[in-house]
Structure 1
Amino acid sequence: MQDDWRSLTDNEKRIVKKLLFGMDIPPSWEIQEYVGHEIDEYGSLALLSRGDNQPANDMNPRLIASGYFDDDNQTAILGPRVEMILFEKNGVLSELQIFRSDRSPLKREIDPDKIFMIEQRQ
């Protein structure tokens, strides 16, 4: 395992749990068993199960859940949003992708309780 893998923050775990909420998840998706490392300036994370030595190498990640967070806290219907997409490869969580739709920096920390769900796939 590379040196830059770290334990997930409580907020990162809460984001993943929110995206998986209500799904019948396999034991291999239990987020408490994961470490991560940031892969971009928005806080996107590569995920790795603590028992694995390296990330899953399947070239075709599968989207399992997506949602968004209103970073501006505006009442406008359209506007920049923080998008979150959770992927799995070979039966384990592999990436939490986070990005702001207008590519600008995030204005505040993501509040998992204010994530709006878009899609979940089993």
Structure 2
Amino acid sequence: MNIYFLIAGVLCFLLGIIHSILGEYMIFNDKRIKGTLVPSKKSASLKVRHLRILWATWHLASIFGWCFGFFLVRIAVDYHMVNSEFMKFIISSTAYTMFISSIIVLIGTKGKHPGWIVFLFIGILLMFGS
């Protein structure tokens, strides 16, 4: 078992869960009509259809994070598969994706959103695990 990949995979799951829960609480909670799942209170700067796609995209990011997590945990458990060139490609692509995500969140939020640290740490774990 590769402990670096396992920790990176678990961090992907946790990041996705925290992302969805905090997003619902901090961003979308007051934009929802009571009793509805999808936010639909428009504002002066945001139409209902834009708000709804933002909500969907917000949760898609979490789902994609979980997907990365599933891949990484599976690769961690079956580490003998990593010797193939294809697995090395998957791991390096994922690491670069995490590094780029870290940079985007760092720049986009001026370092105020802690997600960039988690993305960076996941990328580093993947590089150490390779």
TM-score (norm. length: structure 1)? 0.28
- Structure with bigger strand share is 1
Structure of greater Rg: 2
Q: Whose RCO is larger (CA < 8 A, sep 6+)? A: 2
Larger proportion of helix:
2
